[in-house]
Amino acid sequence: MEFLPPNLTVVLLAGLFDLLLGEPPNRYHPVAWMGTLIGFIRWRAEHHASRPRQLLAWGVGLVAVGLTVSIVAGWLVHALLQELPQFVALIGEALVLKTMFSIRALADAADRVRSSLARGDLPMARSWLNQHLVSRETSQLDAHQIAAAAVESVAENTSDSIVAPLLYYCLFGLAGALAYRFINTADAMVGYRTTRYEWLGKPAARLDDLANLLPARLTALLMMIAAPLVGGNAARGWQIWLRDARLPHSPNAGHPMSAASGVLEIELEKPGYYRIGSGQHMAGVRDIPRAVRLMHSTTAVAIVLITLLTMLV
């Protein structure tokens, strides 16, 4: 692969490793290590702070420590790999980068929900959905709402779990990818507006919002480009994106979700919160694999365009 730019070679190898190998065991997974660090600091904060200002200070410390460790680790790994033969270094960097995104795991999780729905097993579909794709309450969701939630998660994670880490890798190397993944993991663990996490998780949540401003909108744009590859409606995607992107409370999640809603021409509803793509047909079991194909196509387009972008800057 000497004729390819090194960053593109690493991304392609990382994608291949993801498809072939899946996720490594937690004891070898950098994201699991990040989760352990976040859990430890969270535990310390909850035992040593009670007032909002104290918890906020712990939250700032959590982000500062985690980002420092992630950036230094990324820089050190890259520096050490440069001492090895080039091909070995590219493989090593690709193996590390592979742990920063999850194409196969996302597709497998969506397929578990699809297969349960196809069998009419709603309790199992709800269970798979809750375990692997969403944090919302799922016990009362009907078949259409389960399918919609699965499609939403695939669309949102196309940005958070694929496009964003690839973008930050291409811009800032392994240090950038690890830093982004730490921010996203911290937000997933403590970035909630609850009594327990309102102040401790605020720094992580705000930083995650900032880190995803560009990737979320870029992902929506890439979905428009990828739409013809999956028989989607790019024009409808533009329309729903512009109309409904701000319906969810999140400043970023609505962009890939509304784009996917329009491209696939389906309605995505979170009961009691929002309805994206209102007026289109209700999501069903057949739309889950369509969302996965859109995710795969968007990822392919992202690899090409992000690599071209980084070659120009």
Contacts (Cβ under 8 Å, ≥6 apart) of 15 = 98, 103, 299, 303
Q: What is the pLDDT of residue 5?
A: 64
Nearest to 261 by CA among 285, 244, 286: 244
- Domain assignment of residue 178, yes or no: yes
pLDDT tens sequence for the chain (313 residues): 455 567 788 988 999 999 888 888 889 899 999 999 999 999 999 888 888 899 999 999 999 999 999 999 999 999 999 999 988 999 999 999 999 988 999 999 999 999 999 999 999 999 998 888 887 778 888 899 999 999 999 999 999 999 999 999 988 999 999 999 999 999 999 988 888 888 999 999 999 999 999 999 999 999 999 999 999 999 999 999 999 999 998 899 999 999 999 999 999 988 888 899 988 999 999 999 999 999 999 999 998 887 777 666 6
- Domain assignment of residue 85, yes or no: yes
User: Tell me, what amino acid is at 7?
Assistant: N
Q: What is the pLDDT of residue 21?
A: 87
First to last CA, the chain: 22
Residue 292 has, within 13 A of its CA and on its CB side, a CA count of 20
Q: What is the pTM of this model?
A: 0.92
- Domain assignment of residue 203, yes or no: yes
Give exposure, 258-274, as e/b (b: 16+ Cβ within 10 Å). bbbbbbbbbbbbbeeeb
- Residue-number span of the structural domain to which 192 is assigned: 6-312
- Domain assignment of residue 38, yes or no: yes
Total domains present in the chain? 1
- Domain assignment of residue 1, yes or no: no
Q: What is the largest CA-CA distance in the chain?
A: 58
- Domain assignment of residue 303, yes or no: yes
